[in-house]
Amino acid sequence: MAVVLLFLVTFLFFNSPVNDPVSQFDNQTEIKPTPSISIALDLWRQKQYHSSLAMLEELNQPQSEAGFYEFYFKTFVNGTINQTFSQQAALPSSCSQQLLFVAGSVNSLTQAEKLKQKLINDQRLQSLPICAYELIWFNPETVQCTNNQTTHQRISCDLPLLAQHVKSLQFTHLVIFAKDGKANVHNGIMYLDQQDTYDVFVHELAHFAGFVDEYPLSAELAKQVCQQGRAPNLRFSKPNDSTNLSPARTCDNHPNQAYKNSKRLTFMEYHDVAYIPEQYLTAWRNSLLDQHNSPSAHVNFAQFYEEHNNVTESQYWRAKYKMYLTQ
């Protein structure tokens, strides 16, 4: 009798539909996630580009935040980014600096758009001949950047990869948004990371015009900078008429003394102060009138190819730079 009961229990257990994995699978219905911007952005970060774009299209909100991402994601997925750029209006010829914002990630794309809008609305800078293209150049596969261990965590990016993709575009200077690293300007390229604020951007923007930091430079850098006669915001020798000049800390690590035309802290010493004296704006504007004071990004590409003995590409970018100097 015990054997019969054990057989019945075993039979019922293995034939119960509750414990049948096949029956369980058949009874389950795949739950499709409700479309949302956050899910779409997560899919994009996971490089599920087509799924992300499809979800944004399903939201069908062209004038909203979803529409913003949909536009840029579509130009990348469809490979039409340069074609789209060629269709936007040209910047005025009076713009000495024509900024192209470059981003490779969702976070950087959002950051670039916010900073661009703040630049457009910044009344302090309205008198400067600086313009930014309306569109951001967005390409996750091309914008490859790292924080360089040999240059004090300064951001650096894969220039030849980028150069080949932006060849056909009209710009003078690039603003590249990377994930992390120390913000810096090298000739005509500005590098920012995702933590950098608009005030940092404006500080670095002044470097495009030759402005020098007013905090103490390292001994190595001070040796290069403090030997020169002057910068748009500084003098490195005290003139006879110096009533409006105040000592700057730029050359604290050098025998020379630097002087600034402001008794207050300025945005070149502490970027979060955000104070730009009127004299600085005048000097900034005058500096931009001479292109030699503001090397363009073309020279960055030319120098890279020269260092790697690529004559064809170096000559191409040198020619672009010479054209920029004669504008």
pLDDT value of residue 303: 96
pLDDT > 70 fraction of the chain, expressed in percent and rounded: 88
Q: 297, 188 in Cβ contact below 8 A?
A: yes
pLDDT value of residue 73: 97
pLDDT value of residue 11: 39
Question: In the β-sheet with 258-260, what is the strand arrangement from edge to edge?
Answer: 230-231, 234-235, 258-260, 246-248
pLDDT score of 5 more than 50 = no
pLDDT > 90 fraction of the chain, expressed in percent and rounded: 69
Of the pLDDT bands very low, low, confident and very high (cuts 50, 70, 90), residue 244 is confident
pLDDT value of residue 156: 83
Summarised one tens digit per residue, pLDDT across range 84-93 is 988 888 899 8
Summarised one tens digit per residue, pLDDT across range 279-325 is 999 999 999 998 888 999 999 999 999 999 999 999 999 999 999 99
Distance CA 106, CA 165 (A): 19
Helices (H), the chain: 2-15, 21-27, 37-45, 49-59, 65-77, 81-86, 106-121, 159-166, 198-207, 219-225, 278-288, 297-307, 311-325
Residue with more model confidence, 153 or 316: 316
Span 96-117, average pLDDT: 96
Span 161-177, average pLDDT: 93
DSSP-derived secondary structure letter, 18: G
176: helix, strand or coil = strand
pLDDT score of 211 more than 80 = yes
Of the pLDDT bands very low, low, confident and very high (cuts 50, 70, 90), residue 13 is very low
Instruction: Please give the torsion angle defined by the CA atoms of residues 77, 178, 191 and 164, in that order, rounded to the nearest 10 degrees.
Output: -30
pLDDT score of 4 more than 70 = no
The model carries a pTM of 0.86
pLDDT value of residue 229: 72
Span 15-22, average pLDDT: 48
Span 98-113, average pLDDT: 96
pLDDT value of residue 285: 96
Round the average pLDDT of the chain to a whole number and report it: 88
Q: Which residues pair with 101 in a beta bridge?
A: 175
pLDDT value of residue 29: 55
Distance CA 250, CA 226 (A): 8
pLDDT value of residue 9: 40
pLDDT value of residue 10: 43
Span 135-153, average pLDDT: 82
Of the pLDDT bands very low, low, confident and very high (cuts 50, 70, 90), residue 111 is very high
Of the pLDDT bands very low, low, confident and very high (cuts 50, 70, 90), residue 62 is confident
pLDDT value of residue 147: 79
Residue with more model confidence, 160 or 152: 160
Distance CA 249, CA 289 (A): 28
Please, what is the Cα angle at 291 between 254 and 311, to 5 degrees? Answer: 95
Distance CA 124, CA 276 (A): 8
pLDDT value of residue 28: 53
Cα separations in angstroms, 74 against 49, 61, 138, 279: 9, 14, 10, 45
Span 240-255, average pLDDT: 86
Span 117-144, average pLDDT: 95
Span 169-178, average pLDDT: 95
Report which of 134, 95, 5 is spatially closest to residue 289, judged by C-alpha positions.
Answer: 95
Residues in the chain: 327
pLDDT value of residue 60: 87
Domain ranges of the chain: 37-78, 83-208+294-325, 210-270
pLDDT value of residue 152: 66
Distance CA 316, CA 302 (A): 8
Q: Given phi > 0 = left and psi -120 to 50 = alpha, else beta, which region is 60?
A: left
